[in-house]
Structure 1
Amino acid sequence: MEIQQLTVKKQQPLIFKFCITDEDFRYYTRFSSKKVFTVFWESVYPSASRLVYWSKAQRTAEDTPSPQRKLPLIDEFFMFLCRVAAGLQEKTLSSIFEVSLSTVSRTILTWTSYLYQVLGSLPLWMTREQVQATMPDEFKRYCPQVRVIIDCTEIRCETASSLTLQSETFSNYKNHTTFKGLICIASCGIIAFVSKLYTGIEITRKSQMLQLLQPVDGVMADKGFQIEKILSEVGATLIIPPLKKSTQLSMEDTQRTQAVARLRILVERAIRRVKEYHTWDGLVPLSMVGSVNQLWVICCLMSNYQGPLDLNGDKTV
């Protein structure tokens, strides 16, 4: 089914004026091509066409109908992507789409809530059989028991006036207040778990990722992850580069260290993809606290549509 057939025929959607080539789609939407965008759009259109807009959802004692749609549905989605993926400001979007600022705000909030529900309902965690079936040869050679590769990342946010919240969110690594999140990827490079954003530490335990692990599962991480004890509670093991026991690593430990470093880089690339959604370019305002978790999950899960990562470089396979 052509995506043009799923839109309002009387009004040519702006997306087809801005996005002509695959490069255009990558710039404005972060989807890898028009084909991938089309597949995603056709999968969400049936439910998206029944959206209840944010402003109506807030009314509890009124029977006022939801505001009439001012844009083709596909352009509402395009507006959301222009804001989140391309980083265009709401004032700019108001001019481009020729709608009011309130319409822009309402549309983005509505699609944020909708996509969070839709993408969050997808089964991400891969079974052992799926992990083994998609595991690259290098993993099979050095770390055949690995279930996921994990890493934390930080998103800079505005500094709160509360001293308590300041101390909870302050990051020595970033020398700024941040929200912290945990990402787990399968060995094939697909994001398989996303935590909520947290202000403090002990994210691995708080994230409930441990509940998904099974005995003998291997969790690959950086040396900074001191989670061996909590992994042992569920029978899982920690895979990190070997620690130096003498002035020089053995040949075996050297090879293992190099292998783990090569394999771990996949999760760093996955996080970089998420950070390339330009909504994260500046400080997250405290006014976004109510929706930042939803946007974080959306960006993580939509980055999967760019395709699995390749061990040999930042390209899809």
Structure 2
Amino acid sequence: MPVCCVVYGCSNRSGREKNKRFYRVPKVVVHKAEQFKKLTEERRKKWLSNLHLRSGGAESSNARVCSDHFIRDAGCQTDLTMEDIERMEDVLRQNTTELGDLRTKALDTKFNQESFENNEEKTKFYTGLPNFLVLLQVFQLCEPYITCGPMSVLSKFEQFILVLLRLRLNLPLKDLAFRFNISLSTASRIWHKLIDILHESTSFIIEWPERHVLQATMPMGFRQAFGCRVAVIVDCFEVFIERPSNLLARAQTWSNYKHHHTVKFLIGVAPQGYVTYISCAWGGRVSDKQITIQSGLLKNLLPGDIVLADRGFDIADSVGFYCASLKMPAFTRGKSQLSAYEVEETRKIANVRIHVERVIGLVRRKYQILQSRAVPIEHMLTKPGEALALIDKIGVICCALSNLSVSVVPLE
């Protein structure tokens, strides 16, 4: 669109005078700093005072002044020297560098997807998972079931990370509310909702392997001691809980071994070092034998399988019912000392059974909520219409996520 010069008495047009340039009348910039606004006001006043403009012409957004009204060969229209310009450029570069550093620091304090993407150490520390790719795969399993509307404060990924933070570091909900700048009630709602989603999405990772899979990947230490017949190593671990107010619950959860109120999990570990079974939480008073018999773990056994256990698991008859055999360290009760054969058998069992304790230690170190001094008593309650309590789901999730890390059992 052709424009006309707004100087009074000038008839130059951009469509007719091709060799002339047309310059826009400067405007007052109001959306930047106050000092910049004053500078643009002064510049506009000088233009209007030096040019005889038509009435109202300078107010148009298309107002232009042709090159006939400028001093020719006058150089740059500024009072700044080259030293001033170079000094301003140095300050600009310094400010740009500082701004980049501040953006990086601000990104490190956030828990969005971008902050984890290129930071493997942050991923390991806050989630317990080996790298960002594994974290992203677990998130994609849960993402379709996480709700995030236009009024949601946190994104789907941030909600997911909030739950992993509590599992990993055992942070109080109040701490998480401050970290994510949300209310305590919102943090609690996200915690309970995402635990259900995580449990449904990751429980398939804990799976009892087929016999041919076990035999094909049997570590050398197990092959030398028992051939390829070991199916599972069983053990129990306990988690401290708050003191129940109900007297019966106090009696059922009191552990004479830990001298504290606890819940007890039965865990089954494959020779390869991965969790293949995790029971529901039982009161700390119950015996290892009772949990093993009633939990249903023995139903997975096949004829000829070997089960490795500690001395407290007096389940030889129950294991034999499935045509399997139990191997555990020999007792010295009623004997002055063990025979040479019993010493050798006990040594072989101890050398390989230690792996279940290593796996339990790995799970509890990775997800410190299982090392809590006192898990809230409300985690022991079962919601109406559900079969599992929150502590049951937490145990499954922690074991499933631990299975995604490198095994502690060497293959060779």
Q: TM-score, normalised by structure 2?
A: 0.65
Aligned partner of 2:177 among 94, 102, 105: 94
Residues of 2 paired with 1:49 and 1:166: CA distance? Answer: 40
Equivalent runs, 1:4-83 vs 2, <5 Å: 14-17=112-115, 21-42=119-140, 44=141, 47-51=142-146, 68-83=151-166
CA contact (8 A) 2:319 2:325 kept: yes
Aligned partner of 2:315 among 227, 235, 243: 227
State the AA in 2 paired with 1:196.
C
Aligned partner of 1:195 among 279, 303, 319: 279
Relative distance call for 1:35 and 1:120 in structure 2 (3 A) is closer
Aligned partner of 1:211 among 299, 310, 317: 299
Is 1:285 equivalent to 2:376 in the alignment? yes
1:130-155 CA distance string (max 9 Å, x none): 11112111101112221000001111
1:164-192 CA distance string (max 9 Å, x none): 22111111100111101100010000100
Return the offset for 1:79: 0.8
Is 1:118 equivalent to 2:207 in the alignment? no
* Unaligned ranges ≥5, structure 1: 1-11, 54-65
Q: Identify the residue that residue 22 of structure 2 maps to in structure 1.
A: none
Residues of 2 paired with 1:18 and 1:92: CA distance? Answer: 20
Q: Identify the residue that residue 24 of structure 2 maps to in structure 1.
A: none
Residues of 1 paired with 2:150 and 2:368: CA distance? Answer: 29
Q: Identify the residue that residue 360 of structure 2 maps to in structure 1.
A: 271
1:41-90 CA distance string (max 9 Å, x none): 34x1xx5233359xxxxxxxxxxxx7843222111111111111122221
Residues of 2 paired with 1:147 and 1:48: CA distance? Answer: 35
Task: Report 1 or 2 for greater relative contact order, CA contacts < 8 Å, sequence distance ≥ 6.
Answer: 1
CA contact (8 A) 2:147 2:156 kept: no
Residues of 1 paired with 2:257 and 2:111: CA distance? Answer: 44
Return the offset for 1:40: 2.9
CA contact (8 A) 2:206 2:399 kept: no
Residues of 2 paired with 1:151 and 1:165: CA distance? Answer: 24
The alignment partner of 1:308 has SS state of coil
Equivalent runs, 1:128-167 vs 2, <5 Å: 128-144=211-227, 145-167=229-251
Q: Identify the residue that residue 402 of structure 2 maps to in structure 1.
A: 303
The alignment partner of 1:222 has SS state of coil
* Unaligned ranges ≥5, structure 2: 1-109, 382-389
Residues of 2 paired with 1:50 and 1:39: CA distance? Answer: 14
Relative distance call for 1:256 and 1:77 in structure 2 (3 A) is same
Return the offset for 1:273: 1.9
CA RMSD in angstroms, aligned pairs only: 2.4
Residues of 1 paired with 2:230 and 2:395: CA distance? Answer: 25
Return the offset for 1:20: 5.0
State the AA in 2 paired with 1:303.
S
State the AA in 2 paired with 1:279.
I
CA contact (8 A) 1:13 1:75 kept: yes
State the AA in 1 paired with 2:128.
R
1:236-263 CA distance string (max 9 Å, x none): 2111123348544444433332221121
CA contact (8 A) 1:19 1:28 kept: no
Relative distance call for 1:123 and 1:272 in structure 2 (3 A) is closer
Residues of 2 paired with 1:259 and 1:142: CA distance? Answer: 6
Q: How many residues align?
A: 287
State the AA in 2 paired with 1:231.
V
Q: Identify the residue that residue 241 of structure 1 maps to in structure 2.
A: 329
Q: Between 290-299 and 235-244, report the one with greater CA deviation.
A: 235-244
The alignment partner of 1:307 has SS state of coil
Residues of 2 paired with 1:306 and 1:109: CA distance? Answer: 25
State the AA in 2 paired with 1:192.
T
1:96-139 CA distance string (max 9 Å, x none): 21222222111111110011112224460011111111211110
Percent of aligned pairs with the same amino acid: 31
CA contact (8 A) 2:196 2:393 kept: yes
Q: Identify the residue that residue 344 of structure 2 maps to in structure 1.
A: 255
Residues of 1 paired with 2:113 and 2:294: CA distance? Answer: 40
